Chains A and B, each alone.
Chain A
Amino acid sequence: MSAAPVLALRGVSKRFGAVQALTDVELEIHSGEVVALVGDNGAGKSTLVKTIAGVHPIDDGVIEWEGKPVAITKPHDAQNLGIATVYQDLALCDNIDVVGNLFLGRELKRRGVLDEVEMERRARELLTTLSIRIPSVRIPIASLSGGQRQTVAIARSMLGEPKLVILDEPTAALGVEQTAQVLDLVERLRERGHAVILISHNMADVKAVADRVAVLRLGRNNGVFTVAETSQEEIISAITGATDNAVTRRAARTGEARK
């Protein structure tokens, strides 16, 4: 692990009117590391991601990029640093083919005309590198399964060779097989040395691919755990904020029933 983290948040706060969405949040992520960001609905996960992505600039605190403080005030700043964000609702056009979607907004041109050949060559190269399997790069996105679409959306974020990739609920609404495809891809991103922030509600996914888990609760840090040394129950109690809650009570009940 390199000395300076790719991204570090130091005491980051964010307010929306009367709502204190984030309070003194700390987060560190190194290259080649997958950090899961978990928390209940309204814990501030999406807000935190949007501050990193430049959608909502922070009010207080410091964002450090490779050890140096930086200002991220608009999405463009984040992109220039090397931060790619794949949002929950996919930013793909159903009617355009895979190649067209991968290069949407940054089409390659040759004498002012779209260079379809070069785009197709690079698209195939990228998909091969990431071991993404889709029937054809020339079929509309609408023909792909949910998992395949998600992998295309992630592949699209890789075109700019980002150092940090943020995945917002990449496996929500996916089937078992498709979830596995996406998790495989997350592991390949780590192998290639990218830092990955994975937002997920799914503890199984988190345990499967994340190295560390950062828990947010009511806009504050509520613990950072190393996945290998932490049980699912510990993470859940950090998310819910107490050892006595609906989830633990249920666990205790079913535990007693088993005895």
Chain B
Amino acid sequence: MSTHHHHAEDVAQLANPAAPADAIPAVDPRLLVREQGLSGYLSEFGRKMKAGDLGSLPVVVGLIVIWGIFQGLNSNFLSPENLTNIAITMVATGMMAVGIIFVLLLGEIDLSVGSVSGVSGALFAVLAVTNGVNEWVAVLAAIGGGALIGAIHGFFFAKIGAPAFAVTLSGLLFWSGAMLQILGSSGTVNIDSDGVVGQLTTYYFTDVAAAYGLAAVATAAYFLAAFTDNKRRAAAGVPSRPMSELLLRTGLLAVFTFGPAAVFNQYKGLPLAVVLFVLVLVGTDFVLRRTTFGRNVFALGGSVEASRRAGINVTGIRIAVFSIAGTFAAVGGLFWASKIAAANQSAGAGDLLMNVIAAAVIGGTSLFGGRGRTWNALLGVMVITSIQYGLALEGIATPVQYMITGAVLLATVVIDSVTRKTQRTAGRV
């Protein structure tokens, strides 16, 4: 181990020939970020494992186990048709989970997302169907309504200082009442299944080139972005990723894009819902990790006082984050309405809220704030939806589904807590 480190340091020194003539060495040997070479990457991975920094590994392993079990029970589980259905169904919950991840990053909770999704679906249906408003306008109104509702929650939390738990619990009740009020006496409004919202979960890009093309574009874009970033890093004299790691990562991404593309193409093609979900994940991940706003969200999750002293607009960021949660709750509500082709009184109720929070947490977002990525939503919601579909294929009733999903969530929280403990002993939070 030690000889290996020395070797890596030598390489790092060689890789930075632009050392100034000053007495101070440009590269402190202890300042190594990543050791160069693939072996360095592997040792970094090993170090992270030991430190309890498991990342997404437990959930990936869990997903493989779940798929294995259900495939063993029913050979139709991993069929292209079933996988496509899982992929489309999970988008509604997944979109809402993306929103709640922003809130969890602050170390807060939003209990109202289920009700807000319901009220948005109802708002859309009543505007577009009952009142004949243009569907696009109705969509914008529903999403804008969600953003506004979230901002109101944020205002009471950030400006007035009420606990987010209490504010959004009030919201849960208030907005489900508002939804029933909007739907009126009939209780159910069927939406046009060929309309904007109707097609959200029914439209497929049937041309096989669409799925493969998207996979190719994503992989190529990733490689180009990483490659140019690497070149800038090398030019600036800061540690960069070795080419071998870059190729490995690109290769992995290719597997995880072309694989699903092939599955979708064996059924009806690339579902529009999946494309939109991936776009949202890429976009929100970019916002969280590459913009000042995202950095501020993480900072607030780490230390509110430190953020305030650094001049961060704490109130503004908090309101914005709750507004984002409301926005994605509304988007999820539209996908939900699309899935059942209606807005009805049970929308946003039942286990939806729990599934949304579970998806975020199962995917690896910490309940304690400051740790997580929006990609967690994808992994988490895949686990939850897979369980639902697998149990449904076996004809296992809802009560058992609830219990199993609850057990999986508990297992995840246990892993999260144990991970945190290991990380503490290894000096990481």
Give A contacts to B, CB under 8 Å.
87, 89-96, 100, 104-107, 109, 112-114, 117-118, 120-121, 124, 127-129, 131, 133-138, 140, 142-144
Tell whether, in the assembled complex, residue B238 and residue A120 are in contact, meaning their CB atoms are under 8 Å apart: yes
SS of A interface (majority) = loop
**Chain B min CB distance to A189 (Å):** 16
Tell whether, in the assembled complex, residue B24 and residue A93 are in contact, meaning their CB atoms are under 8 Å apart: no
**Chain A min CB distance to B43 (Å):** 14
- CB neighbours (8 Å) of B428 from chain A are 140, 142-143
- CB neighbours (8 Å) of A105 from chain B are 307, 310-312
For B31, give its contact among A87, A127, A129, A142 (CB under 8 Å). Answer: A127
* B366 closest partner in A (C-beta): A95
**19 A-B pairs whose Cβ atoms sit less than 8 Å apart in the complex:** A90-B306, A91-B303, A93-B298, A95-B429, A96-B298, A100-B298, A104-B295, A104-B310, A104-B312, A105-B310, A106-B310, A106-B311, A114-B289, A114-B295, A117-B236, A127-B31, A129-B24, A138-B33, A142-B429
- CB neighbours (8 Å) of B26 from chain A are 128
- CB neighbours (8 Å) of A106 from chain B are 310-311
**Chain B min CB distance to A112 (Å):** 7
Q: Once bound together, how far apart are the Cα atoms of A227 and B133, in whole Å?
A: 81
- CB neighbours (8 Å) of B306 from chain A are 90-93, 104
Q: Once bound together, how far apart are the Cα atoms of A172 and B370, in whole Å?
A: 27
Tell whether, in the assembled complex, residue B295 and residue A107 are in contact, meaning their CB atoms are under 8 Å apart: yes
Tell whether, in the assembled complex, residue B238 and residue A94 are in contact, meaning their CB atoms are under 8 Å apart: no
* B107 closest partner in A (C-beta): A95
Q: Once bound together, how far apart are the Cα atoms of A137 and B32, in whole Å?
A: 8
* A104 closest partner in B (C-beta): B310
* A128 closest partner in B (C-beta): B24
**Which residues of B, 217-244, contact A by the 8 Å Cβ criterion?**
229, 232-233, 236-238
**Chain A min CB distance to B239 (Å):** 8
**Chain A min CB distance to B413 (Å):** 19
**Chain B min CB distance to A156 (Å):** 9
**Chain A min CB distance to B234 (Å):** 10
Tell whether, in the assembled complex, residue B309 and residue A91 are in contact, meaning their CB atoms are under 8 Å apart: yes
Q: Once bound together, how far apart are the Cα atoms of A134 and B31, in whole Å?
A: 6
Size bracket, chain B contacts: 35 or more
- CB neighbours (8 Å) of A134 from chain B are 30-31
Q: Once bound together, how far apart are the Cα atoms of A139 and B260, in whole Å?
A: 34
Q: Once bound together, how far apart are the Cα atoms of A129 and B33, in whole Å?
A: 18
Interface 1/0s, chain B 275-286, versus A by CB < 8 A? 000000000000
Q: Once bound together, how far apart are the Cα atoms of A87 and B305, in whole Å?
A: 12
**Which residues of B, 307-352, contact A by the 8 Å Cβ criterion?**
307, 309-312
Q: Is B291 in contact with chain A by the CB < 8 A criterion?
A: yes
**Chain B min CB distance to A57 (Å):** 18
- CB neighbours (8 Å) of A144 from chain B are 427
Tell whether, in the assembled complex, residue B236 and residue A118 are in contact, meaning their CB atoms are under 8 Å apart: yes
Q: Once bound together, how far apart are the Cα atoms of A192 and B302, in whole Å?
A: 32
- CB neighbours (8 Å) of B301 from chain A are 95
Q: Once bound together, how far apart are the Cα atoms of A89 and B232, in whole Å?
A: 36
Tell whether, in the assembled complex, residue A95 and residue B30 are in contact, meaning their CB atoms are under 8 Å apart: no
How many A-B Cβ pairs are below 8 Å? 103
* A90 closest partner in B (C-beta): B306
- CB neighbours (8 Å) of B371 from chain A are 95
Q: Is B292 in contact with chain A by the CB < 8 A criterion?
A: yes
Tell whether, in the assembled complex, residue A92 and residue B303 are in contact, meaning their CB atoms are under 8 Å apart: yes
- CB neighbours (8 Å) of B290 from chain A are 113-114
Q: Once bound together, how far apart are the Cα atoms of A140 and B25, in whole Å?
A: 24
Q: Once bound together, how far apart are the Cα atoms of A114 and B293, in whole Å?
A: 10
* A85 closest partner in B (C-beta): B309
Tell whether, in the assembled complex, residue B370 and residue A112 are in contact, meaning their CB atoms are under 8 Å apart: no
Tell whether, in the assembled complex, residue A114 and residue B291 are in contact, meaning their CB atoms are under 8 Å apart: yes
Tell whether, in the assembled complex, residue A121 and residue B302 are in contact, meaning their CB atoms are under 8 Å apart: no
Tell whether, in the assembled complex, residue A94 and residue B24 are in contact, meaning their CB atoms are under 8 Å apart: no
Q: Known interface pairs A94-B429, A121-B238, A143-B427. Does A104 touch B30 (Cβ–Cβ under 8 Å)?
A: no
- CB neighbours (8 Å) of A124 from chain B are 31, 238
For A135, give its contact among B30, B307, B309, B310 (CB under 8 Å). Answer: B30
Interface 1/0s, chain B 108-144, versus A by CB < 8 A? 0000000000000000000000000000000000000
* B286 closest partner in A (C-beta): A113
- CB neighbours (8 Å) of B237 from chain A are 121
Q: Is B261 in contact with chain A by the CB < 8 A criterion?
A: no
- CB neighbours (8 Å) of B25 from chain A are 128
Q: Once bound together, how far apart are the Cα atoms of A121 and B307, in whole Å?
A: 23
Q: Is B299 in contact with chain A by the CB < 8 A criterion?
A: yes
For B291, give its contact among A90, A93, A112, A133 (CB under 8 Å). Answer: A112
- Having A106-B311, A121-B238, one finds 5 other A-B pairs with CB under 8 Å, namely A104-B306, A118-B236, A127-B28, A136-B32, A142-B428
Q: Once bound together, how far apart are the Cα atoms of A117 and B231, in whole Å?
A: 10
**Chain A min CB distance to B32 (Å):** 6
**Which residues of B, 5-56, contact A by the 8 Å Cβ criterion?**
24-26, 28, 30-33
Q: Once bound together, how far apart are the Cα atoms of A120 and B240, in whole Å?
A: 11
Q: Known interface pairs A92-B303, A104-B307, A128-B24. Does A137 touch B429 (Cβ–Cβ under 8 Å)?
A: no
* B230 closest partner in A (C-beta): A117
| Chain A to chain B: the 5 pairs with minimum beta-carbon distance, closest first | A93-B302, A105-B310, A95-B370, A142-B429, A95-B302
**Chain A min CB distance to B324 (Å):** 18
Q: Once bound together, how far apart are the Cα atoms of A58 and B236, in whole Å?
A: 46
Q: Once bound together, how far apart are the Cα atoms of A103 and B59, in whole Å?
A: 33
- CB neighbours (8 Å) of B292 from chain A are 107, 109, 114
**Chain A min CB distance to B246 (Å):** 16
Q: Once bound together, how far apart are the Cα atoms of A135 and B371, in whole Å?
A: 21
Tell whether, in the assembled complex, residue A91 and residue B305 are in contact, meaning their CB atoms are under 8 Å apart: yes
Tell whether, in the assembled complex, residue B28 and residue A133 are in contact, meaning their CB atoms are under 8 Å apart: yes
**Chain B min CB distance to A131 (Å):** 7
Q: Once bound together, how far apart are the Cα atoms of A133 and B31, in whole Å?
A: 7
Q: Known interface pairs A91-B310, A114-B290. Does A104 touch B299 (Cβ–Cβ under 8 Å)?
A: yes
Q: Once bound together, how far apart are the Cα atoms of A237 and B406, in whole Å?
A: 66
For A113, give its contact among B291, B302, B305 (CB under 8 Å). Answer: B291
Tell whether, in the assembled complex, residue A133 and residue B30 are in contact, meaning their CB atoms are under 8 Å apart: yes
- CB neighbours (8 Å) of A104 from chain B are 295, 299, 306-307, 310, 312
* B310 closest partner in A (C-beta): A105
- CB neighbours (8 Å) of A91 from chain B are 303, 305-306, 309-310
- CB neighbours (8 Å) of A135 from chain B are 30-32
